[in-house]
Amino acid sequence: MQKALNVSRPWYRERWPWLLMAGPIIVVIAAFVTFGIAVKSDDGMVVDDYYQQGKEINKQLHRDEVAQAMGLSAQVLFSDDMRQVRVITSSKQPLPAELELQLLHPAQDDFDQHITLHRTSDNVYQGTVKPAPANHWYLHLEDKNKQWRVQGDWRSAEGNQVLLGTPALTPVEN
């Protein structure tokens, strides 16, 4: 008797169909994982209404001009543990007893901080900062009535101090 040499097996017992289907199956799984990551880690827009912000740019520039006319500058000093902030100001006009310092993250508005600074002595203000993971910030120092503003850019890796406004101050050590 002769044995049949061509014994046909069912398709699911062959290797090639499974290898060919593996690619599309992996892509579908990766799509679901990517969708899950996108939903869980929403970036959050820094500014919700770009058009409105664009229309208000002249108001913002006016505040900077008022600060410049006042001859206002500030040196912002962060403590080594990044929990305290001290601001030394210089101005031709007297400043209020409280100021507001905003630490704005360039991309994630969840990291933004609004710190109320209290005057501790002539031209010296102090406040408490929440430790934050980012190392690049935009700093805005302004009065509570939002009449003027000085601003600057700070990278924590470059040191614990930053000068804001027209530099009339010489840096001091902590």
Distance CA 15, CA 6 (A): 17
Considering the domain boundaries, does residue 43 fall inside one?
no
Considering the domain boundaries, does residue 5 fall inside one?
no
**How many domains in the chain?**
1
Q: What pLDDT does 51 receive?
A: 63
Considering the domain boundaries, does residue 8 fall inside one?
no
Q: What pLDDT does 167 receive?
A: 63
Considering the domain boundaries, does residue 15 fall inside one?
no
Q: What pLDDT does 70 receive?
A: 87
pLDDT under 70: residue ranges of the chain: 1-5, 42-59, 167-174
Considering the domain boundaries, does residue 26 fall inside one?
no
Both tokens assigned to 135: 């190392």
Domain that holds residue 140: 50-165
Considering the domain boundaries, does residue 21 fall inside one?
no
pTM more than 0.85: no
Distance CA 127, CA 115 (A): 7
Q: What pLDDT does 108 receive?
A: 79
For all residues of the chain together, what is the average pLDDT?
83
Handedness of CA 139, 143, 144, 146 (dihedral sign): negative
Q: What pLDDT does 3 receive?
A: 63
Considering the domain boundaries, does residue 120 fall inside one?
yes
Q: Can you tell me whether residue 108 is helix, strand or coil?
A: coil
Summarised one tens digit per residue, pLDDT across range 29-65 is: 999 999 999 888 866 655 556 666 666 666 678 888 8
Q: What pLDDT does 170 receive?
A: 53
> For position 148, which CATH number holds?
2.60.40.10
Distance CA 78, CA 156 (A): 9
- What is the residue type of 114? H
Considering the domain boundaries, does residue 7 fall inside one?
no
